[in-house]
Amino acid sequence: ITSSKLLTLILVLNEREQKILLGMKKRGFGVGKINGFGGKVEAGETIEEGARRELLEEAEIEAIDMTKVGINMFTFENDPVGLEVHIYVTKEFKRTPTETEEMKPEWYNYSDIPYSQMWADDKVWIPLLLNNTRFMGHYHFSQDQATVLYEKLNTSIRD
Ligand code: 6U4
Ligand code: NA
Ligand code: NA
């Protein structure tokens, strides 16, 4: 790995109803996959500001209690550029989730998360996130982004 891009990923939870808000990505990296909201951190903003902005841009909601829960590094076969993805949870928000040019938001029961339509790493760390466990992971993907060739997970994270 010679460099990495800094990205965010935000998962919106309704704990009372045990539902998670996910979106079908309509364009760009990971198109067609169901995923959380997020994107590249821009110059002049903090990582958390980037996360808030992406949630507003992609689902038209404003996070109230955004909390960082994990960091994942993604690398790809035959690609020198890695992705460092900072993952946040918000359980409270303002406004109504709305379909945008980039994402179509939908609520899923915790017991019915569509892992087969998601990135292959998600089934590893989303259960931890739902259980309020912090995590750091590294997932090395095949060139076609379908298979995790190598993974390393650490859940012994302190404040
Ligand atoms: P543009 O279209 O240039 O504005 P932007 O919204 O800034 O793009 P985008 O959509 O390329 O960024 O960001 C990719 C999103 O995919 C980020 O939220 C991180 C997420 N992501 C990347 N690899 C992932 C993986 N293996 N598992 C996962 N999310 C991943 O759950
Ligand atoms: Na995005
Ligand atoms: Na962006």
Q: What is the ipTM of this complex?
A: 0.96
55-76 pLDDT, tens digit each: 999 999 999 999 999 999 999 9
CA distance 43 to 26: 25
pTM metric for this prediction: 0.97
Ligand 3 centre to CA of 7 (Å) is 9
Ligand 1 atom, smallest distance to 38 CA: 18
Ligand 1 cavity residues, CB under 6 Å: 7-9, 28-30, 35, 38-40, 74, 83, 85, 119, 121-122
Start-to-end Cα distance in the chain: 28
pLDDT, tens only, 91-114: 999 999 999 999 999 999 999 999
Is there a contact between 88 and 68 (Cβ–Cβ < 8 Å)? yes
DSSP codes joined into one string, 32-92 = T-EE-B--BPPTTS-HHHHHHHHHHHHH--EESS-EEEEEEEEEETTEEEEEEEEEEEES-
